[in-house]
Structures are given as structure tokens and as C-alpha cells.
Amino acid sequence: MPDVTEQQEYPPGQHPSLPPPSSYIGPVAWLRTNLFSSPLNVLLTLVSLWLIWVIVPPLLDWAIFSATFVDGESREVCVKDGACWTMIIARFWQFMYGFYPVGERWRVDLGLILFFGAVIALLIDRTPGKKFIAIFLFGVYPFISYWLFVGGFLGLPLVETRLWGGLFLTLVLGSTGIIFSLPLGILLALGRRSELPVIRMMSTAFIEFTRAVPLITVLFMSSVMLPLFLPEGVTFDKLLRAMIGIALFGAAYMAEVVRGGLQAVPRGQYEGAMAVGLGYWQMTGLIVMPQALRIVIPGIVNTFIGLFKDTTLVIVIGLFELLNIVQAAFRDANWAGLAQEGYAFAAFVFFLFCFSMSRYSLYLERKLNTGHRR
């Protein structure tokens, strides 16, 4: 309650800034406004507390306190009541690299370190020489990574892509999908809004057709149908086909997200850009697209996350990315019945990556907010 008795009179124009009443700030006020502001809010708070009480302690008990953390050869070491992480420990490196030869795994490590090093450097604000890092990442890195991961020349032995697997394969599929779907999606979105009928119709047809088909179908078609249309002897790597399928599929979704952003940029921005003499590509690249993409950051990251998780569908064409290789492990007679632990582990790894993307997008939105009110 504000203290009415201390109400003081000031001459007009002389009223000083006063601190807010104590009932308005501090932890007690925070609790009251956020958790106990109304009867319904009180009820919801209590129900939430009860749910936390019911769920969290048993979960912690299962995953940590009563769990088995020893290494071993089979599920016979699992004697405690809780989770048995022995399978994860024993198969951990396989979950990471698939069947990539043990002696060559440093190539994967080096490639991924280079990749994530460059990406993180680009995402951090204060990195100097971003231009060169970007040139490296988009111009040089694809060749380096091909040499490192596949090899077969310049002194590195060939590792066939059918040996790839685990988190490594998930990252390869996810990052190529993410990196190619955005620029392709931007081009498709521009194409769909083009004034040239041929470009507009082709973009629209591609987007609508691709979106109307499940990703599983696209993957099946790329692995089963495509070879039928190719001339005898021409073969395409299975993994490459999956990568192209995922990138094109993601591009169709991305195009619609970007189109939404383009529609949200006011007409005055186009007119302002044209009036100062910018041409179409300058206007698009400097004025319209930066604003459109900023508006749809949540949608873009949403698509990225969806795409990253959709890579698990490559199981239908026999590729063993993280989830599938974990499933394969607990179907092994030695580990039978450890599905819960396997799924929990796979979920945890996916969560780490997807949650990081989500947090970065929130940071990006805040950073790019220039105080413009629409």
C-alpha cells in the first residue's frame, strides 16, 4: 500500500522524481505480481510446484543417483535400479563417428573443429577480419572438408561415406541443409515475388510441389527413383543425394518464411531505396532483405531446428545418423532393453544443439533491434 500520509505538495513544475513505493519493487513484490497475483495464478503456481515435485526427484534418481556409470561389455553390469549408462559409455565413440575407421577419426575432429571455430567466430560480435573468415568458410572450407572427410587424394586414404555415421553424420547433414537452404530459400522467395512470369511460376511450382510432399518421400525418391533415371554407370553417392534432398526440401520451407518477411517490409522502404537511385539487387541486398530477415529470425531458426531434427529420417535410406545408430545399439542382444537410456541420450544431444540455436536467435533479435517501432 502506498503511504498516503506522506503525500507532499510541490509547486507546479517543481515535482521531483520519487522512488517507486516499496510494494512495487523487491523479491516479495516480484512473487506477488508473478506468482500470486490472482486466485487462478495461485492455483497454477501450486499445480506447477506439485508437478515439479512429482517429476523431477524420480527423474534425477533414475538418471543419476541410482544409475550405473561403469564401463562394460554387456548389460550384465547393470545391477542398480536406475538407468544403465554402460551402453552409452561402451558405444560412445561409435555414436559420435559411426563406422569411420578409428585411425582416421582425427580427420573428423579437425574438420569439425575448423567448422565450428569459423562459425562461432562469425557469430561473435567482436571478431576481427570476419570477411576473411566468411571467405574461408564458404569458399575454402568445402574443399578442405571434402579432402578431410572423404579423402582418397593428397595423402589421405579414402573413407567411403557408407562408413560415416553417428553425430558426425547428423552434423554433416544438418549443417549442409542449413547452409544451403537459406540462400536457396531467399532466391526462391525473390523468385516467387518476381515480376517475370516464368521465374515466378517456376519458383512457385518448386515451392508448392516440395512442400506438398513428405521428406521421407523425397529421400526415398532420391535413393530409389533417381538412379532409374540416370544413365547406366552414372552413380551418385547415396549421402550426397540425401544432402541435396534435405537442402532442397529445407529451401522450400525457407522460401515461404522469407516471403513472409518480405511482405512485412513496408512499401515506403522500397520507394525510399528506389528514390535514391538503388537498382533492384542493391535495393534487395542492402535495404529490403536485411529488414525482412530480421523480422523472420524466429521462423528461420524454427526451420533450421526442424531441418536438423529431420535428418533422422535418413534411416529410410539406410544411413546411420545419431538416432539410428543408437537404436541399432540397443537392438544388439548384448544391450537389449536399454531403449530408454538410448533415447534419453539421443534426445539430450539433439536438445543441446537445438537449444543453442534457439538461444542464439533470441540474442540476435535483441542485438538487431534498432529501436524502430512499426
Partner 1 sequence: MSNGAQAAQGRIPETSTAGDPMIQMIGVHKWFGQFHVLRNIDLTVHRGERIVICGPSGSGKSTLIRCVNRLEEHQKGRIIVDGIELTNDLKHIEQVRREVGMVFQHFNLFPHLTVLENLTLAPIWVRKMPKRDAEQAAMLYLDRVKIPEQALKYPGQLSGGQQQRVAIARSLCMNPKVMLFDEPTSALDPEMIKEVLDVMIELAETGMTMIVVTHEMGFARTVADRVIFMDGGEIIEQNAPDAFFNNPKSDRTKLFLSQILHH
Which of 7, 370 has the CB closer to partner 1?
370
Query: In the set 27, 103, 139, 371, which binds partner 1 (CB under 8 A)?
Result: 371
Tell me the window of 219-227, 251-259, 289-297, 316-324 that interacts with partner 1 (CB under 8 A): 289-297
Q: Which is nearer to partner 1, 19 or 277 (CB)?
A: 277
CB of 250 to partner 1, least distance (A): 25
| CB nearer partner 1, residue 218 or residue 273 | 273
Number of residues in the chain:
374
Minimum distance, C-beta of residue 55 to partner 1, in the bound complex (Å) = 44
Q: Which of 294, 301, 319, 325 binds partner 1 (CB under 8 A)?
A: 294
| Residue 157 engages partner 1 in binding (rule: CB under 8 A) | no
Nearest approach in angstroms of CB 283 to partner 1 is 10
Tell me how far, at minimum, the Cβ of 125 lies from partner 1, in Å. 16
287 binds partner 1 (CB under 8 A): yes
The region of 12-20, 119-127, 131-139, 364-372 touching partner 1 under the rule CB under 8 A is 364-372
Cell numbers given for 225: 527413383
Query: How far apart are CB 274 and partner 1 at their closest, in Å?
Result: 6
Q: For 326, phi and psi rounded to 5 degrees? A: -65, -45
Give the nearest distance from C-beta 25 to partner 1 in angstroms.
27
User: Is 20 one of the binding residues for partner 1 (CB under 8 A)?
Assistant: no
Q: Identify the CA nearest to 132 among candidates 142, 147, 122.
A: 122
Build a one-symbol-per-residue string for 251-280: x at contacts with partner 1 by CB under 8 A, - elsewhere. -----------------xx-xxxxxxxxx-
CA distances from 331 to 196, 288, 335 (A): 55, 52, 7
| Min separation Cβ 270 and partner 1, Å | 9
Q: How far is the CB of 136 from partner 1 (least distance, A)?
A: 24
Nearer to partner 1, 58 or 272 (CB): 272
Q: Contacting partner 1 (CB under 8 A), which of 264, 286, 336, 347?
A: 286
Please answer whether residues 335 and 327 qualify as being in contact, where contact means their C-beta atoms are separated by less than 8 angstroms: no
Is 282 a binding residue for partner 1 by CB under 8 A? The answer is yes
Q: With respect to partner 1, which residue has the nearer C-beta, 126 or 373? A: 373
Written as nine digits, the cell of 138 is: 564458404
Q: Does 370 bind partner 1 (CB under 8 A)?
A: yes
Helix/strand/coil (H/E/C) assignment for every residue in the chain: CCCCCCCCCCCCCCCCCCCCCHHHCCHHHHHHHHCCCCHHHHHHHHHHHHHHHHHHHHHHHHHHHCCECCCCCCHHHCCCCCCECHHHHHHHHHHHHECCCHHHHHHHHHHHHHHHHHHHHHHCCCCCCHHHHHHHHHHHHHHHHHHHHCCCCCCCCCCCHHHECHHHHHHHHHHHHHHHHHHHHHHHHHHHCCCCHHHHHHHHHHHHHHHCCCHHHHHHHHHHHHHHHCCCCCCCCHHHHHHHHHHHHHHHHHHHHHHHHHHHCCHHHHHHHHHCCCCHHHHHHHHHHHHHHHHCHHHHHHHHHHHHHHHHHHHHHCCCEHHHHHHHHHHCHHHCCCHHHHHHHHHHHHHHHHHHHHHHHHHHHHHCCCCCCC
Residue count, binding to partner 1 (CB under 8 A): 22
The one-letter amino acid code at 13 reads G
Nearest distance, CB of residue 178 and partner 1, angstroms: 23
Smaller CB separation from partner 1, 2 or 279: 279
Q: Between 215 and 289, whose beta carbon lies closer to partner 1? A: 289
Residues in contact with partner 1 by CB under 8 A are 268-269, 271-279, 282, 286-287, 290-291, 294, 368, 370-373
